[in-house]
Amino acid sequence: MSQVSQGGILTRRHFLTMVGYAAGGAAMYQAMMRLGHAAEGSYDGPIRLEGKPKPGTSVVILGAGLAGMVAALELRNAGYKVKILEYREKVGGRNWSLHGGDSFTELGGAKQDVKFDKDQYINPGPWRIPFHHRALMDYCKRLKVRLEPFVQYNYNAYLHSSKSFDGKPQRFRHIHADFQGQVAELLSKAINTQALDAPISKEDQEKLLEALRSWGALDKNMAYVKGHASSEVRGFERDAGGGLNAEPTFSEPLALSDIVRSSVWHNMGIHDLYEFQQTMFQPVGGMDQIGVAFGKELEGLFTFNAKVTAIKQGDGKVTVSYTDHVKGGEHTETADWCVCTIPLSILSQIDVDASKEMRAAIDAVPYAPSVKIGLQFKRRFWEDDEAIYGGISYTDLPITQISYPSGGMNAGGKGVLLGGYMFGPSATEWSSLSPEDRVKHAVQYGAQIHPQYKDEFENGVAVAWHRVPWTLGCYGMWTDQTRKAHYDNLCQIDGRMVLAGEHASYINAWQEGAILSSLNAISRLHSHIVGNQQADSKGA
- 5, 7, 9, 12 alpha-carbon torsion, rounded to 10°: -20
pTM for the model: 0.87
Report DSSP state, residue 344: H
CA dist 144 and 290 (Å) reads 9
Name all contacts of 356-360 with Cβ < 8 Å and 24+ positions apart: 357/489, 357/492, 358/489, 358/490, 358/492, 358/494, 358/499, 360/486, 360/489
Averaged pLDDT score across all residues of the chain: 89
CA–CA separation, 503 and 342 (whole Å): 10
Residue 401 parent element (H or E): strand 401-403
Average pLDDT over residues 154-175: 94
Residue 450 near residue 375, CB atoms below 8 Å? no
| CA-only gyration radius of the chain, Å | 27
Domains recognised in the chain with CATH numbers:
12-33+172-276 (1.20.1440.240), 58-87+289-366+478-539 (3.50.50.60), 98-156+279-286+368-467 (3.90.660.10)
**What is the pLDDT, as a whole number, of residue 28?**
33
Instruction: State which H helix or E strand residue 189 sits in.
Output: helix 172-192
Chain CA centroid to CA 160, Å: 21
Select the more confidently predicted residue: 239 or 405.
405
Percent of the chain's residues with pLDDT above 90: 71
- H and E: helices and strands count for the chain: 17, 23
Q: What is the pLDDT of residues 256-304, one digit of tens each?
A: 888 888 888 777 777 788 888 889 999 999 999 999 999 999 999 999 9
CA distances from residue 132 to 26, 127, 173, 194, 306 in whole angstroms, order as listed: 22, 15, 26, 41, 35
pLDDT in the model for residue 31: 38
pLDDT one-digit tens code per residue, 432-473: 999 999 999 999 999 999 999 999 999 999 999 999 999 999
Distance CA(286)–CA(407), nearest Å, equals 10
